[in-house]
Amino acid sequence: MARFIFITGGVVSSLGKGLMAASLAALLQARGYRVRLRKFDPYLNVDPGTMSPYQHGEVYVTDDGAETDLDLGHYERFTGVSARQSDNVTSGRIYQSIIQRERRGDYLGATVQVIPHVTDAIKEFARAEVDDLDFVLCEIGGTVGDIESLPFMEAIRQLRNDLGRDQTCFVHLTLVPYIAAAGELKTKPTQHSVRDLTSLGIQPDVLVCRCEHPLPENERAKIALFCNVPKEAVIPALDASSIYAVPSQYHAAGLDGAVLRSFGLPFEPAPDLRRWGDIMERLENPEGEVTIGVVGKYVGLADAYKSLNEALVHGGIANRVKVNIRWLDAELFAEDESEIASKLEPLHAILVPGGFGERGSEGKIASVRFARERRVPYFGICLGMQMACIEGARNTAGIASASTTEFGPTDEPVVGLITEWMTAEGLEKRAAGGDLGGTMRLGAYPGTLAGNSHVAGIYGSTEISERHRHRYEVNVHYRPALEEAGMVFSGMSPDGALPEIVERPDHPWFIGVQFHPELKSKPFDPHPLFKSFIAAAVKQSRLV
């Protein structure tokens, strides 16, 4: 029977609950346990799919087509366990399902209330599909005291009563701030946070204390005394040099041992952390470095491209080099070619990521042209592939007005709205004026690669499966003109209708992909395209 670990946060947001949850799962996994992680998001959106990246960071997409919170990316990268639709739920999704049931008459005339109906729906979600697991880690979004998170707090309180003390553990992450003027760490915010949590009927079993300075033993003892937890269950969590150092750091601080003790389980022998040690050895002892320019639309918020950032780091790990990422706002690129060149010339490779909307598109197209003409390694992802095709159409195929219908009506729709495509279940259809949420081509789809292509060599296969999230596609009717001008369509959907990959054989490294390979990259298993892209950047660095 699966044991449940409920992870809550207090004092302030952005303390790293998701990273802590992922690290704890990795530690339990390293001890031989089977784990799965889930995220409860209290906001009223059904999912983050229609939210701006500036609001909520990137949207992480699962194989089964769910648009989810970016923390699920941490979960996958740290454990290698593929996330599913059932691993992320929001208040919006919970209320949507309850209202649908009420409209059908499923409640048989009962008054629908937060307790028991909303809390029962949350508990139903938490306990679904867990039969083959040892531990289910459930992270509650937000912080204690948020109005919108109260139904989730009540649901996990009830779950302890339902499942029993030996099947549940509450881990609470708080902040222990350092007051520079006083030269002291202050435990009072943690005490207040735990008091608020216990007022909801939840007594934490383990406290994780984020702090900038080491937590003295007397302060640990004070926290333990006031918060009613054993001293060994007060875990200091200091800043780490890399997120991939966090699992080992939490183990050294005793997190996994404290959790296992709360379940009455043995915490010896120690977990096997050799792969994390190897990752850190490569990060801390690089044999060189490269600079990658990411020309994007949401560069003002690092979390907007979280998986992309990590995939580039993974490519560096694979090549034993440090990857310096230079974030470039595509919208600020001027028409002046000399100014564009001044920003791009110092780079060893250029990447244009996914995005939506016209803003910054001309700067992205200018970046593609620079990479093509200067023979700098170029990687286009989703919109980045579409911009590569539009640039090629305009500047090599003689289609001067080439554009995309995403930006408005055009006489040369090199990129257009995809209205139907094949799935494993059959034909999917979409209308231009339909709902935005959950209506894109989402999730894992197969692709077929040309046997003599660059990408087939990189993958070592002609059959691939990658995760998609897009509403527009390169128009296959422009394939002959683009191929005549030097761009090869080296990857297609199995039915040959949808372009998946383009490349330029006459270029050192020029690849555009319609999917999002960054979503499947892991530190111990870097995605082959990122591994190859960074290798090309290393080669370019020796030419500069």
What number of other Cβ atoms are within 10 A of residue 400's Cβ? Answer: 9
Told to judge if 470 belongs to the known catalytic residues of this protein, a careful annotator would answer: no
CB 20 within 8 A of CB 173: yes
Q: Known catalytic residue: 518?
A: yes
Among residues 144, 138, 139, the alpha carbon closest in space to that of 11 is found at 144
Collect all residues with Cβ–Cβ distance below 8 Å to 465 and sequence separation of at least 6: 444, 445, 446, 447
Residues 6+ apart with CB under 8 A from 111: none
Other beta carbons within 10 Å of 241: 11
- Residue 516 is among the residues annotated as catalytic for this protein: yes
Q: CB neighbours (10 Å) of residue 86?
A: 16
Q: Are 324 and 290 in contact (CB under 8 A)?
A: yes
Please tell me the distance from the alpha carbon of residue 203 to that of residue 390, in angstroms, as a whole number. Answer: 58
Among the listed residues 154, 219, 412, 518, the single catalytic one is: 518
47: helix, strand or coil: coil
Give the Cβ contact number of residue 448 at 10 Å.
18
Q: Considering 209, 211, 382, 389, which one is annotated as catalytic?
A: 382
Q: What is the dihedral of CA 382, 383, 385, 387, to 10 degrees?
A: 180
Q: How far apart are alpha carbons 150 and 125 in whole angstroms? A: 16
Q: Sign (positive/negative) of CA torsion 322, 323, 326, 327?
A: negative
Integer Cα distance of 509 and 64 in angstroms: 31
Catalytic residues: 382, 516, 518
